[in-house]
């Protein structure tokens, strides 16, 4: 009788020990590699209440040392890719960064990657990586609006949260992510909306991928559009990216800047149009003339939210234009540059805008 009563207790104890790691064996922390590119998160000012500062002053080792809490979430390794304000982001850094992300993501001991970046162009870099990284592992960009020396700097918590997201298994297969101010954005959806506010990033059309509060991660949805392992784009054999310029539309616009961009070597043009990708008649005529000569011409919008649809007030079929759909001008430019590494076929390029 006694034996029959005690046996289940023993079994419960064994099950508890096996599931809780009660033998003393600790699960190793996932390894997250931090690639630092510069930005305000690595910026420094003369005092903690000074608006003037310089981006890209603090190195990756200092950045890691400033947030020791992150080492409780992941084993961290740091590499310096560049140390620039992201207003100076360029193809050389992009290609180096993307290639390194692909190398690291292929390593079995690397669970995720965090990239520290400036806020000015983070949406472009994130979207570029979203299209050319070939991995299901989390790739998470983060940034800060206040320099590291500021009173109430936002960088350390953003960095901690980014590491927590990159170390989280559920973060995989959602495309490249951007973590700033407790919010997890998808690379294709986010945009910078304030020049100075800490709460600058929004995903106005699609909303957030999730939230992260002091490392506690919650996901709402997956990535929008084809990305990473499902992307047709690759940097294999690519050493340069074609030139694509963005031209903003405005009252009384003529075709001078459109023609000047082509004369400067642009193979593609993105118009940040008024409203639903519109522009003055002289600008339409200049763009259509360039489109006839094979310059790929995309209509996007200078308006923050909404789609630019095909054949709405302008007949794209007749004029030979591509409609950007949900892509804002800066993302349309990234996609068109990669598209031009593969084709100049208008139908195929419109399909890219539809699918990515
Ligand atoms: N100009 C800075 C940069 O993009 C702004 C920032 O990081 O917030 O590098």
Whether 85 lines ligand 1, by a CB cut-off of 6 Å, is yes
Q: How high is the pLDDT of residue 26? A: 80
Q: What share of the chain is helix, strand, coil (3-state, %, to 5)?
A: 35, 20, 45
Task: Write down the pTM of the prediction.
Answer: 0.92
Instruction: Provide the 8-state DSSP code for 345.
Output: -
Q: How high is the pLDDT of residue 2? A: 39
330 CB burial (10 A radius; 0-12, 13-18, 19+): middle
Whether 155 lines ligand 1, by a CB cut-off of 6 Å, is no
Whether 126 lines ligand 1, by a CB cut-off of 6 Å, is no
Q: How high is the pLDDT of residue 22? A: 46
CA dihedral 349, 353, 354, 356 (to 10 degrees): 120
Let me know: does 43 contact 57? Beta carbons within 8 Å. yes
Q: How high is the pLDDT of residue 299? A: 98
Give the residue ranges of the chain where pLDDT is below 70: 1-25
* Catalytic residue positions, numbered: 40
* Other residues' Cβ atoms within 10 Å of the Cβ of residue 237: 6
Q: Give me ligand 1 centre to Cα 200, in Å.
A: 12
- For the sheet with 75-84, list strands across it: 75-84, 31-38, 112-116, 139-142, 177-180, 183-186, 210-213, 216-219
Protein residue with least CA distance to atom 7, ligand 1: 118
Instruction: Provide the 8-state DSSP code for 308.
Output: B
Q: Give me ligand 1 centre to Cα 38, in Å.
A: 8
Whether 118 lines ligand 1, by a CB cut-off of 6 Å, is yes
Please report the atom of ligand 1 found closest to the CA of residue 39.
9
Let me know: does 159 contact 116? Beta carbons within 8 Å. yes
């Amino acid at each position: 009788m006694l034996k029959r009563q005690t046996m289940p207790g023993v079994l419960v104890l064994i099950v508890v020990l096996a599931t809780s790691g009660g033998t003393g064996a600790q699960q190793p922390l996932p390894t997250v590699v931090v690639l630092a590119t510069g930005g305000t998160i690595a910026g420094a000012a003369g005092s903690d209440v000074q608006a003037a500062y310089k981006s890209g002053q603090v190195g990756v080792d200092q950045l890691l040392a400033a947030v020791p809490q992150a080492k409780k979430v992941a084993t961290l390794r740091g590499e310096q890719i560049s140390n620039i304000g992201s207003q100076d982001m360029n193809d050389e850094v992009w290609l180096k960064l993307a290639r390194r992300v692909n190398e690291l993501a292929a390593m079995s001991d690397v669970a995720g990657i965090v990239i520290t970046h400036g806020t000015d162009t983070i949406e472009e870099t994130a979207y570029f990586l979203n299209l050319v990284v070939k991995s299901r592992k989390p790739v998470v960009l983060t940034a800060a609006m206040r320099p590291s020396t500021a009173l109430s700097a936002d960088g350390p918590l953003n960095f901690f949260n980014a590491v927590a997201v990159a170390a989280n298994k559920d973060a995989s297969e959602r495309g490249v992510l951007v973590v700033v101010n407790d919010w997890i954005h998808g690379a294709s959806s986010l945009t910078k909306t304030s020049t100075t506010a800490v709460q600058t990033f929004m995903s106005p059309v699609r909303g957030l991928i999730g939230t992260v509060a002091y490392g506690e991660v919650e996901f709402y949805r997956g990535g929008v559009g084809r990305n990473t392992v499902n992307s047709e784009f690759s940097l294999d054999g690519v050493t340069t990216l074609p030139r694509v310029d963005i031209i903003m539309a405005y009252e009384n616009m003529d075709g001078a800047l459109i023609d000047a961009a082509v004369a400067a070597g642009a193979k593609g043009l993105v118009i940040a149009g008024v409203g639903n990708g519109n522009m003055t008649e002289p600008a339409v005529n200049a763009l259509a003339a360039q489109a006839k000569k094979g310059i790929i011409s995309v209509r996007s919008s200078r308006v923050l939210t909404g789609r630019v649809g095909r054949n709405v007030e302008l007949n794209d079929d007749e004029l030979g234009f591509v409609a950007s759909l949900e892509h804002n001008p800066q993302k349309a430019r990234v996609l068109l540059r990669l598209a031009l590494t593969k084709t100049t076929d208008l139908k195929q390029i419109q399909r890219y805008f539809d699918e990515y």
